[in-house]
Amino acid sequence: MIPLRSDISLIVDGLHRLNTRPLSVMEVCGTHTVSIFRSGIRSLLPPDLRLVSGPGCPVCVTDQGEIDAALSLVERGAIVATYGDMLKVPCDRGSLASKRSEGYDVAIVTSAMDVAALAEKHPDREVVFLAVGFETTSPATAALVKEAEQRGLSNLSVLSLHKRTPPVLAVLAGDPGLKISGFLLPGHVCVILGHEPFSFLPRDCGLPSVIAGFEGEQILLGLAEILRQYSRGESSLASVYGRAVRPEGNEKARTLLDEVFVSRSAPWRGIGVIPDSGYALAERYGVFDAERRFSLTIEPGKSLPGCRCGDVLTGKITPPDCPLFRMACTPLSPVGPCMVSSEGTCGAYFRFYKGDS
């Protein structure tokens, strides 16, 4: 339902009343970042309320070394299947898109299960699913692995680059260089995980944290709740996305994750290696693990010269502060991953932000 304008203006009035001193709120999720731009939310906010974009775009946090590993798989003759916006993510020797234009086999899928069909269609080829994303896409990968086992698809494997959200937020919340007063938590991730994995943010770090949906109105409501808590000196985990997020999350999806994956340390582009922040296939499903099948070792990549995606992903700078932004780094020839994805912070700034508006 489209909210009435008067509802919106009430929320906006509330934001202006509650915002009495300079505050920064991090929206963690890339979909939030884009929605904030698309709905023009910044133009409605009080001047002292700053929104900082976090590391919640799966493409953007995929490390150079991980892309390098994927390229080596296509070069070795495998069909690599992945989600569309992974294609343009560069490492120092190209991207999947550049490999595709050289004639290598790269397939775009919109759901993990499409990979099973692809493997069935090419029984004589190795088909590798380059699995990226947070807790929102990892259950689908888990389901694919189980399906592959059931159908006996021995030519299918998964290169799991999946990342877990709570550990990276713990790193950010504990970063003294980062002045964040509250978190707008990713609605879709919370649909799966529920409230508990994020409860440490208000409890241990004293940060108001609000789960919000992706419509402009819900984002405004979430921000108002953060300001309300802040103005009263409170910090709790609240949700303004009750229609989709149950406090206990989606038990079925979590069981699937627990069964198929184990957590492991993972490299985050620009941030570094974070313990327990990635998902690897559990021993029981090791036969579908592309790292094992192709004896891959993923080395954390070197950062690209001049690229400040790490500082953008941790909210320390905004994209226009990066010397490459709009100059050497554009959506047509992205240097860093934040420019690649439609949900990347730099890409969003490039498309929607032309100055102080």
Question: Which string of x and - marks every residue 118-147 that binds another protein (by CB under 8 A)?
Answer: --------------xxx-xx----------
Among 97, 143, 178, 317, binds another protein (CB under 8 A): 97
Q: Is residue 69 within 8 Å of residue 75, measured between CB atoms? A: no
- Which pair of tokens denotes residue 98? 């550049």
- Residue 325 gets which letter from DSSP? B
In Å, the largest CA–CA distance within the chain is 65
**Phi, psi (deg, nearest 5) at residue 123:** -65, -20
**According to CB under 8 A, which one of 19, 32, 52, 58 is a site residue for another protein?**
58
- Reference 59, options 23, 35, 91, 102; nearest CA is 91
3-state secondary structure of 54: strand
268 near another protein, judged by CB under 8 A: no
| Out of 44, 171, 262, 287, the residue judged to bind another protein by CB under 8 A | 44
> Rounded to the nearest whole angstrom, what is the least distance from the CB of residue 349 to another protein in the complex?
11
User: Residue 36 CB, nearest distance to another protein (Å)?
Assistant: 9
To the nearest whole angstrom, how small is the minimum distance from the Cβ of residue 45 to another protein?
9
Task: Count how many Cα atoms sit within 13 Å of the Cα of residue 240 in the half-sphere of its side chain.
Answer: 20
Closest CA to 66 of 346, 312, 353, 337: 337
Size of the chain, expressed as the number of residues it contains: 357
Member of 22, 40, 242, 286 binding another protein (CB under 8 A): 40
Among 101, 204, 242, 272, binds another protein (CB under 8 A): 101
Q: Are 73 and 290 in contact (CB under 8 A)?
A: yes
Asked if residue 294 binds another protein (CB under 8 A), the reply is no
Check binding of 107 to another protein (CB under 8 A).
no
Q: In the complex, which residues of this chain contact another protein (CB under 8 A)?
A: 2-3, 5, 8-9, 12, 31, 37-44, 58-59, 83-88, 97, 101, 108, 110, 114, 132-134, 136-137, 188, 216-217, 220, 330-333, 341-343, 350-354, 357
